[in-house]
């Protein structure tokens, strides 16, 4: 499968200042920028920057960033699921995962997350994919937001829902290990029925029990 990537950008005002929301961004450009010190949800900022550069260089990888000058204040990643996860087992070349979305605290509450998703899905090529997102509450910033897991879950549903991602049922043990965890997905308008069927099969491995 080809993975054409079409760049888009926009500018928004946030509590922390004006930001450019843009992408997909090439690895060489990402290397020139600095990761904001507040981007710590998944890894320490420098490590996450290297991971993001790696993803941008993958054929299917996409990185959309929120940038204040040369500082990356937020980002979202898309790539094939980890081979260790069940989502990779179906070996679907049109299934990609929104792996991480993060906005540094000073820029939160200014529609940055929603804008990152908006720019992502402005690329019509996204309609060729099933885009999944596995939401685990242990990645959420419960401490700083002071939200309960249930409130945070609603926020994530709202953010992901802004681009048509919906909750899908699954028997994946990591997701079912806590009721706040969830699988969300968006099935692009050009995804064929066979792929949808495969996705349905991979969501339930113990269908006998359902």
Of the two residues 138 and 208, which places its CB atom closer to ligand ACO in the complex? Answer: 138
The bridge status of strand 71-79 relative to strand 8-14 is unpaired
Q: How many helices (H) and strands (E) does the chain have?
A: 8, 9
Torsion of CA 173, 179, 181, 187, to 10 degrees: 90
Q: Which is nearer to ligand ACO, 24 or 38 (CB)?
A: 38
The residue among 94 and 111 lying less far from ligand ACO, judged by its C-beta, is 111
Residue with tokens 């054409």: 4
Nearer to ligand ACO, 94 or 181 (CB): 181
* CA distance linking residue 94 with residue 92, whole number of Å: 5
Q: Go through 131-169 and write b for each residue having 16 or more CB atoms within 10 A of its CB, e for each that does not.
A: bbbbbebeebbeeeeeeeeeebbeebbebbbebebeebe
Residue number, 21 or 209, with CB nearest to ligand ACO = 21
CB of 59 vs ligand ACO, minimal distance in Å: 21
Query: How far apart (Å, rounded) are the C-alpha atoms in residues 150 and 127?
Result: 30
Closest to ligand ACO by CB, 43 vs 139, is: 139
CB of 176 to ligand ACO, least distance (A): 17
* Nearest distance from C-beta of residue 122 to ligand ACO, angstroms: 16
CB of 18 to ligand ACO, least distance (A): 14
Instruction: Quickly list DSSP for 155-190.
Output: HHHHHHHTTT-EEE----HHHHTSTT-EEEEEE-TT
- Minimum CB distance to ligand ACO, residue 21 (Å): 10
Closest approach of ligand ACO to the CB of residue 32, in Å: 23
Binding site for ligand ACO (CB under 6 A): 41, 98, 100-103, 108-114, 133, 135, 139-141, 145, 147, 155, 158-159
176: Cα separation from own chain's centroid: 20
Which two three-digit tokens encode residue 173?
């043990």
């Amino acid at each position: 499968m080809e993975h054409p990537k079409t760049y888009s950008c926009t500018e928004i005002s946030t509590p922390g200042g004006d930001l450019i929301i843009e992408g997909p961004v090439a690895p060489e450009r990402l290397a020139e920028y600095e990761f904001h010190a507040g981007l710590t949800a998944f890894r320490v900022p420098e490590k996450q920057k290297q991971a993001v550069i790696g993803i941008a260089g993958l054929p299917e990888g996409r990185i959309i960033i929120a940038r204040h000058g040369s500082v990356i204040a937020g980002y979202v990643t898309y790539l094939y699921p980890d081979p260790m996860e069940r989502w990779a087992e179906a070996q679907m070349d049109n299934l990609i995962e929104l792996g991480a979305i993060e906005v540094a605290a000073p820029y939160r509450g200014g529609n940055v997350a929603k804008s990152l998703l908006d720019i992502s899905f402005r690329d019509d090529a996204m309609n060729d994919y099933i885009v999944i997102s596995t939401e685990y509450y242990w990645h959420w910033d419960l401490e700083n937001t002071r939200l309960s897991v249930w409130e945070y879950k609603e926020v994530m549903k709202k953010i992901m829902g802004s681009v048509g991602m919906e909750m899908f049922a699954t028997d994946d043990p990591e997701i079912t290990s806590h009721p706040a965890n969830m699988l969300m997905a968006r099935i692009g308008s050009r995804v064929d029925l066979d792929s949808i069927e495969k996705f349905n099969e991979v969501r339930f491995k113990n269908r006998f029990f359902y």
